[in-house]
Amino acid sequence: MAKEKPKQATKSNDSDINLKGTFISVMLVGIFILVLWFGSYALFLSR
Amino acid sequence: MHLHKFEKIWLVFGMASLVLFLLIIGFAAFWKGTHPQSHIETIDPQNVEAHEAFKPENLGLREVADGKYTVNIVASAFNYDFGTDADGKAVKKIRVPKGSTVLFQITTKDVVHGFQVAGTNVNMMVEPGHVSRLETVMKNTGEFTVVCNEYCGVGHHQMFATVEVYE
Amino acid sequence: MMLKNYNFPKKDARLYMSFMYVTFASLLVGGLMGLLQTLSRSGEFQLPFGINYYTILTVHGVILGLVLTTFFIVGFQFALMGKTVGLSDKQRKWAWIAFWTMLVGTIMAAVTILIGEANVLYTFYAPLRAHPAFYIGLALVIVGSWIAVFTNFRQLYVWKKANPGQKSPLLAFMVVINMAMWFIASLGVAISVLVLFIPWSLGYAATINVLLSRTLFWYFGHPLVYFWLLPAYMAWYAIIPKIIGGKLFSDSLARMAFILLLLFSIPVGFHHQLTEPGIDPTWKFIQVVLTFMVVIPSLMTAFSIFATFETTGRRLGHKGLFGWFKNLPWGDVRFFAPFVGMVAFIPGGAGGIVNASHQMNSLIHNTIWVTGHFHLTIATTVILTYFGIAYWLVPHLTGRRLTPRLNKLGIIQTIIWTVGMTIMSTSMHIQGLLGGPRRSDFSNYAGGEQVQTWISYQLAQAVGGTILFIGILLMIYIFIQLAFFAPKGVQEFPIAEEEVDAEPTPKILENWYLWIGITIALILFAYTIPMIDIIKHSPPGSLPFDWPIGRS
Ligand code: HEM
Ligand SMILES: [Cu+2]
Ligand SMILES: [Cu+2]
């Protein structure tokens, strides 16, 4: 949406800041959502 | 606005999961017809007997074809009227064989009620002026408690019945 | 941002504290009811003095779901506005008018409930009819909150005039989003109460359109839960980073998330009406799709929060994949309580996706699973974040300090809440999947194995409920200490700052006409046709019913 800013303006949001831990954490959340949803759907289908 | 590479991956993953869920339930709903109960038929709540299904003699369980049943019920605070048995006693329990297709039709004479055959997917709101209707296959055997699961007054928790599915 | 470490002028602090007194008084009363509910449902105890279960359940739902939340939110948001954009004398006067209107309404509704004239639960579904004073009281609470809404709008407007060309402070922007959402949503319930319920309860209208009243209620009911949640998100985005010694992760993304929440919180009410007759299933499904859209800003929030923790931790020099996590300030209750709230939102939010999944809703609709679900979302995520705010806001307002001892008690409080809620909420979820109904006093029903299993989970809920009530007593003790007895001092009002070199926030994010316009367009899209259907195909109206709720 925003126009890209010259280099120094984006340092803090740069893709090279290390967010590996964050990525792993959110993916675990995502997997939890998938497991709960498919588990519930299986229960729904079995009834 | 600048998104971190990982945030992009995460959002794509998350949104794809949501789309997947929607495709599954959308397919089931629109192709297989497993919408939640949404019967659009109105009725005069003060005169439910005028409707064929809710005449006193038509209440309760009826086998309409081989393996196909209809159950007509009138709810009122704090009772489900399943009609009467041969001795003129109020029916509180119905029995159907496993694998049978059962159509539940229910309406209310007074306030809002719920109708859930606990442990099955039969779960509907029952509202004055409307007929609630859901057809289902009874897949599993057992004794299932029918509960009113929408608050209808101080006797709400005394409103129940039983559905038995036998082998 | 200026003035952060200076206390408010006395006049302002008194205003904000008034909202906090009502909040914590509500917590005590409502919590006691919660305890009695779980004890009664265990089947081991009977309510004393012939008190009806549904009277206390109505008190619990109204006092905690409507009163505690609204008072805390309005008070907290006034404090945020006061800190970031200022409060004039005239605005303070209006804020007091809002407070007293809400309080009078609350007292009216509460008295009506307590004398047994309004056993209708907090959703007051027609055609059960409570005493008119109950509806009038609720209407006053809403009108009072509207006064707060327009005062907040005015506060930002005045600031904007004085600071032309500047972007509004993030927290003020968030408050205005939440209040805009609240106003648009509460129009639904206001119409329902003023046009449908009050004339009908007074006998001027003979009948009521039940489905219409429910649809208006749930048009309001879903944004209501977001109205509770957004102040928690404000703290997560803009306050917690400061507490852990970091900076805002991204001002633009935070604003974007709030805008998406505004857009998609309202046109989704049908997901509470999925099993109702009389609504076209295609429109139900359309609102299910919109409901799934509102998950997206929460996915963004999850990322932002973890990223704030990680960037802060790495900047402080913590190494390894999860070193930043280990070194979060676990001993600081201003962080720890909201953190537990965040964790609870993982199962809470995931459960919400299950609930909203169209036909799958019949798995859990009106079972005690739902109660388990919102005791995770509101009674843990939201409430623990509110507590986390109160630990610094209350002493900031009273000119006292959160002492190490009170901080430690806060940590203990959080742990007690976590344990109690894990027991209560988990057993509610399981019992719900087994079909156990919500909003129900103890009952043996027809007996049998299924019912016996339910009762065993209800016993577990009584254990969890008792632990939770101990947590409430401890919280009340901490509140009283912070309000009256803690040593004098200066408690910081933590507001996170942007990185010095942060990317500028796009102007379009503050284009109110655009966002409110889209919000209204989405509402019209989701509701116009089904609303016309509901009105055109309405059955004969419903007469009022008094006797089922024990009124004569
Ligand atoms: C001591 C702590 C608490 C306990 C033991 C407790 C217990 C309960 C129980 C057992 C129910 C369901 C009863 C039923 O469906 O029959 C319930 C309902 C409810 N609770 Fe709580 N609760 C507590 C705290 C809270 C908090 C902090 C909030 C919100 C801020 C809250 C909001 C609600 C709401 C809105 C309902 C729904 C009422 C209704 O269905 O009409 N509870 N609570
Ligand atoms: Cu009931
Ligand atoms: Cu909702």
- Distance, CA of C371 to CA of C359 (rounded, Å): 19
| pTM beyond cutoff 0.90 | yes
Contact call for C351 and A13, based on CB within 8 A: no
Q: Strand pairing partners for B160? A: B147
State how far Cα C211 lies from the chain centre: 25
Per-residue pLDDT, averaged over B45-59, amounts to: 92
Rounded distance between C-alpha atoms, residue C427 and residue C456, angstroms = 9
Which residue of C58, C273, C358 is the best one to mutate when testing the B interface, meaning the one whose CB has the most B CBs within 10 A? C358
Residue C2 pLDDT > 90, yes or no? Answer: no
Is there a domain that residue C455 lies in? yes
Please compute the mean of the pLDDT values over residues C229-247 and round it to a whole number: 95
Where are the domains positioned within chain B?
1-35, 41-166
8 A C-beta contact, residue B146 and residue C429: no
Position A16 scores a pLDDT of 59
* B30, C212, C271 from B36: Cα distances, Å: 11, 19, 11
- Please work out whether the CB of residue C472 comes within 6 Å of at least one atom of ligand 1: yes
- Average of per-residue pLDDT across C283-297: 94
Query: In which band, very low, low, confident or very high, does the pLDDT at C318 lie, cut at 50, 70 and 90?
Result: confident
Lowest mean pLDDT among A10-19, C9-18, C61-70, C453-462: A10-19
User: Nearest-CA distance from A35 to chain B in Å?
Assistant: 11
Indicate whether C273 belongs to any domain: yes
What is residue A2's predicted lDDT score, i.e. its pLDDT?
Answer: 43
Q: Whose CA is nearest to atom 27 of ligand 1?
A: C379
Pocket test for ligand 1, best of C60, C429, C443 (most atoms within 8 A of CB): C60
pLDDT tier, A1 (very low <50, low <70, confident <90, very high otherwise): very low
**Section C526-544 average pLDDT:** 93
Q: How many separate domains does chain C show?
A: 1
Residue C551 maps to a domain:
no
Q: Tell me: pLDDT of B1 over 60.
A: yes
Q: State the SS3 of C149-209.
A: HHHHHHHHHHHHHHCCCCCCCHHHHHHHHHHHHHHHHHHHHHHHHHHHHHHHHCCCCCCEC
Tell me how close the Cα of C510 comes to any Cα of chain B, in angstroms: 14
Task: Let me know: does C529 contact C283? Beta carbons within 8 Å.
Answer: yes
Indicate whether C136 belongs to any domain. yes
Chain C residues touching B45 at Cβ < 8 A: 539-540, 542
pLDDT tens digits, C410-441? 999 999 999 999 999 999 999 999 999 999 99
pLDDT, tens digit, for every residue of C134-167?
A: 999 999 999 999 999 999 999 999 999 999 988 9
ipTM of the shown complex: 0.95
Sign of the Cα torsion C435, C430, B153, C137 reads negative
Which class is domain B41-166? mainly beta
Question: Pseudo-torsion of CA B13, B16, B18, B21, nearest 10°?
Answer: -120
Domain that includes residue C131, residue range: 10-546
* Collapsed DSSP state (helix, strand, coil) of residue B161: strand
pLDDT by residue (tens digit) across C66-113? Answer: 999 999 999 999 999 999 999 999 999 999 999 999 999 999 999 999
pLDDT in tens, C474-512: 999 999 999 999 999 989 999 999 888 788 888 889 889
pLDDT in tens, C361-400: 999 999 999 999 999 999 999 999 999 999 999 999 999 9
Q: Which of C371, C427, C463 to mutate to test the pocket of ligand 1 (most atoms within 8 A of CB)?
A: C371
Is B15 in a helix, a strand, or coil?
helix
Active site amino acids of C: 222, 226, 373-375, 438-439
Give chain B positions within 8 Å (CB) of C295. 14, 18
Q: How far apart are CA C521 and CA C516, in angstroms?
A: 9
Tokens 């843990």 belong to residue: C380
Report the mean per-residue pLDDT for chain C. Answer: 94
Is the CB–ligand 1 distance for residue C351 below 6 Å? no
State the DSSP string of B23-86. HHHHHHHHTS--PPS----B--TT-GGGSGGGSGGG-EEEEEETTEEEEEEEEETTEEE--B-T
Mean pLDDT of chain B: 93
Q: Any bridge partners for residue B80, and if so which?
A: B75
Q: How far is the CA of C296 from the centre of ligand 3 (A)?
A: 15
Q: Is C60 in the pocket of ligand 1 (CB under 6 A)?
A: yes
Q: What confidence category does residue A3 fall into, taking pLDDT thresholds of 50, 70 and 90?
A: very low
Q: What residues are paired with B61 via a beta bridge?
A: B71
Closest CB from C314, C350, C503 relative to A9 = C503
Q: Per-residue pLDDT for C552 more than 80?
A: no
- Out of C36, C39, C52, C64, give the residue to mutate to test ligand 1, the one with the largest number of ligand atoms within 8 Å of its CB: C64
Q: What angle do CA C254, C260, C264 make, to 5 degrees?
A: 150
Do C443 and C420 meet the contact criterion of CB atoms below 8 Å apart?
no
Residue nearest to atom 28 of ligand 1 (CA): C379
CATH number of the domain to which C501 belongs: 1.20.210.10
**What tokens were used for B164?**
């038995």
Q: What is the mean pLDDT of residues C277-301?
A: 93
Q: Give chain C positions within 8 Å (CB) of A22.
A: 303, 306-307, 309-310
Residue C5 pLDDT: 54
Which ligand is in closest contact with the Cα of C222? 3
SS3 C80: helix
Q: Region B132-152: what's the mean pLDDT?
A: 94
Subunit contact A12:C506, Cβ cutoff 8 A:
no
Do residue B112 and residue C127 have CB atoms under 8 angstroms apart? Answer: yes
- Residue C76 has what pLDDT? 97
**pLDDT at C3 (0 to 100):** 46
The pLDDT score that the predictor gives to residue B88 is 87
Residues B6, B8, B11, B15: is their CA dihedral positive or negative?
Answer: negative
For the record, the structure tokens of B163 come out as 């559905």
Kindly report the nearest CA distance between residue B158 and chain A, in angstroms: 25
Q: Look at residues C296, C303, C285, C294 and name the one whose alpha carbon lies nearest to residue C342.
A: C303
Query: Which site among A14, A34, A35, A47 would you substitute to test the B interface, given the most B Cβ atoms closer than 10 Å to its Cβ?
Result: A47
Nearest neighbour of A13 by CB, restricted to C309, C350, C503: C503
Indicate if the pLDDT at residue A6 is higher than 60. Answer: no
Among C residues 417-436, those touching chain A with beta carbons less than 8 Å apart: 433
Q: Is residue C396 part of a domain?
A: yes
Residue B124 tokens, joined: 């509907």
> What's the CA gap between B119 and C449, in Å, rounded?
12
Nearest to residue C245, comparing CAs of C476, C500, C496? Answer: C496
Q: What is the C54 CA–ligand 1 centroid distance (Å)?
A: 12
Statement: residue B73 has pLDDT above 90: yes
Whether C349 has its CB under 8 Å from any CB of chain A: the answer is yes
Task: State the Cα torsion C500-C501-C503-C509 to the nearest 10°.
Answer: 10
Mean of pLDDT values over B11-40: 93
Is C387 a pocket residue for ligand 1 (Cβ < 6 Å)? no
Work out the percent of chain C whose per-residue pLDDT is above 70: 99
Q: Is the pLDDT of residue C1 over 60?
A: no
